[in-house]
Amino acid sequence: MAGPAFDQMDGEIWFDGQFVPFADAKIHVLTHGLHYASAVFEGERAYSGHVFKLEEHTERLIQSARILDFEIPFTAEEINDATNELLKREKLTEAYVRPIAWRGSEALGVSAQHNKIHTAIAVWQWPSYFKPEEKLKGIRLDIAEYRRPDPRTIPCKAKAAGLYMICTLSKHAAEHKGYADAVMLDWQGNVAEATGANIFFVKDGVIHTPTPHCFLDGITRRTVIGLARDRGLEVNERTIAPEEMEGFEECFLTGTAAEVTPVSEVGPYHFVPGKISEQLMHDYEACVRAPGAAAIAAE
C-alpha cells in the first residue's frame, strides 16, 4: 500500500455518521483505543464497485465489538449504506475498505465502560497487484517466533486490534530476513495461520487446513473451502504439525488482501504451486466478480 500518508490523502472518511475530509478524521492522543487496544476492525474489498460479502463483514464487526464489551452505535444497515455511499462518493470500483470502531477519550484507564464508542469507515484504491502467472511463482514465508495464544487467554473470535500486535512483529521479522510473511504456530506448536491470512496445504489431491480454534475462521477461508468442495475436492480441517509440511505438495494463503496466494516456501519446507492452487485462484476471482457477488452468503 505504498503511496502518500493517509493524513495526506484526498477524499472523505465516514466518521461517526458524517463524511469528513481524510485530514480531518482525527482522534485525541488519549483515546482509550490507542492505549488499551479497545478497537475492532474489518478488512474488506470492493470489486467492480461492490464490496464482497459486505453483510458478513459488518456482522463480524458488530459481533467483535460485543466480544470486547461494547455496542457499535450504528445498525448493520447503516454501516452497509455508509460503505456503499462512500465508495460512490470516492468514485472507486477496485478498493480496500476499512471499518473500525473504538472506545473514545472520556476516561483513560483499564476500565472505560462509559467512554463514547466511535465508528469510522475509510476506502482507498486497491487494484490487483499481481498477474496470475506472477502469483503462481509462490511467496516465501518464515516461521514466526511468536505463537497464536491459547483461546482461553484471548478473545480469539473477535477481529480485535490488540490481537495483531504479535502479527506485526512477526511480519516485520520475516521481512527483515527477506521473506514476504510468516507462518504462526499455535500455543501447542501446531500450524495456525499466517500473520494476516489463513493457510492451506495440498497432498494427493486433498486439501488440508488448520482448524480455526485459536484464530479467525476467515470469510475468504470459508469462501475458498466452499469453492473447493464445489469442485469435488476434499477439504480436511484438522490439527497440522509443523513437520507434516515436509510431505505437502502445494500451499496457499487466503484472505481479503491475499485472496488466494500460492506459497513456495515455509521456512525449510518447499512447495510447488500447482493445479489446485491455480484453479482456486481463478475460481475465487470469478466468484468475487460474479453478478450479485456482494450478496453471496458464505458456504
What are the catalytic residues? 159
Rounded to whole angstroms, how far apart are CA atoms 187 and 171? Answer: 18
Which residues, in sequence order, are CB contacts of 165 under 8 Å at separation 6+? Answer: 37
* Alpha-carbon 232 to chain mean position: 26
Rounded to whole angstroms, how far apart are CA atoms 127 and 95? Answer: 7
Cβ-based neighbour number of residue 280 at 10 Å: 27
3-state secondary structure of 139: strand
Tell me the residue type at 51.
Answer: V
DSSP letter, residue 221: H
Rounded to whole angstroms, how far apart are CA atoms 184 and 85? Answer: 37
C-alpha cell recorded at residue 298:
458464505
What DSSP string describes 162-180? GGGHHHHHHHHHHHHTT-S
Which residues, in sequence order, are CB contacts of 109 under 8 Å at separation 6+? Answer: none
Burial label, 91 (beta-carbon count in 10 A; 0-12, 13-18, 19+): exposed
Cβ-based neighbour number of residue 8 at 10 Å: 9
Cβ-based neighbour number of residue 34 at 10 Å: 17
Which residues, in sequence order, are CB contacts of 104 under 8 Å at separation 6+? Answer: 27, 28, 31, 32, 33, 115, 116, 117, 118
Strands 198-203 and 250-255: antiparallel
Rounded to whole angstroms, how far apart are CA atoms 102 and 93? Answer: 27
